Structure 1
Amino acid sequence: MFVGHYKDVPEKDTGFEGVTIRWLVSPKLGAKNFAMRYFVLKKGAEIPMHQHDWEHEIFIVRGEGIITGGDKEVHVKAGNFLYVPPNEPHGYKATGETLEFLCIIPAKKEAIPEDEWA
């Protein structure tokens, strides 16, 4: 078993202005099936529409935002959770001071950066 604190995990740039990621659980820790990430989007920051071959499970920890999925936009806030199916276009935008969420994805080579592998 491994127990950590999210603030002890380095915050990394995502390439999107005002958006950071912390890889909380990844193959680097021995996880073989799933990876858990912690995203922070500052007010107005966004991750534009994109899609992947894998599903996402998301839990909104703090703040408010708009999640675009498929052909709809949904306002989300702390406590909301989402399921994004494989290949569904989706995007995120912070409308509050921040939008912070956990995102779980499969531990697949194409989904996880090289430095997060054991």
Structure 2
Amino acid sequence: MTDKAPKGVVLYPEQMKAYERGGGAKTIPLVGPRIGAQSFLNGITIFGPGAAIPLHTHNCEESVLLLEGNAIAEIDGERHDIKAGDISWIPEGVPHRFINASNTEGMKILWIYARIDATRTLVETGETRPVSAEHVG
């Protein structure tokens, strides 16, 4: 039997399921092992007006691109006002979170993790879970 290399795919996020993350945010997982990716994960998180995710760290590097809206990127205790098109790089283990800066408009980010087995550790509780655990239900 011959192993066949995975083929590239095109994904259509507007047709994909969004998973509730709590705090007014929901995530659409995109590239990952289920489609053949072997070295990174990415997806989109949509924030309702005023929504924020808890301060957390990861076991790998992360990059976040603000696709829509205005946000506050809190990285290692510093707050940065960002607009659509701005992008961040966050090293492994650095506490961070994203906050929708608007109480009336939504916000959307594209995130990319440098490992398919990326984890999220909540700063407040120390609880660690695979990022992929948020994409079920």
Q: SS at 2:42's partner residue?
A: strand
Give TM-score, length-normalised by structure 1. Answer: 0.90
Per-residue Cα deviation, 1:10-30 (whole angstroms, up to 9, x for no partner): 01111x221000001110001
The verdict on how the C-alpha distance between 1:98 and 1:114 changes in structure 2, with shifts beyond 3 A counting, is closer
Over the aligned positions, Cα root-mean-square deviation in angstroms equals: 1.6
Shift of 1:36: 0.9
Larger radius of gyration: 2
1:7 is the counterpart of 2:14: yes
1:25 is the counterpart of 2:31: yes
Give TM-score, length-normalised by structure 2. Answer: 0.78
Per-residue Cα deviation, 1:37-89 (whole angstroms, up to 9, x for no partner): 10011111100111122111111100011110012100111000000110000
Distance 2:73 2:56 in 1: 12
Q: Map 1:1-118; keep pairs closer than 5 Å.
A: 1-14=8-21, 16-96=22-102, 97-105=105-113, 106-108=115-117, 110=119, 111-113=130-132
Structure 2, unmatched stretches of 5+, are 1-7, 120-129
Deviation >6 Å, runs of 4+ = none
- AA aligned to 1:82 is S
Q: SS at 1:3's partner residue?
A: coil
Question: Is residue 59–residue 118 contact of structure 2 (8 Å, CA) maintained in 1?
Answer: no
Distance 1:114 1:81 in 2: 25
Identity of aligned residues (%): 23
Number of positions where the alignment pairs a residue of Structure 1 with one of Structure 2? 115
Shift of 1:109: 6.0
Distance 2:85 2:118 in 1: 30
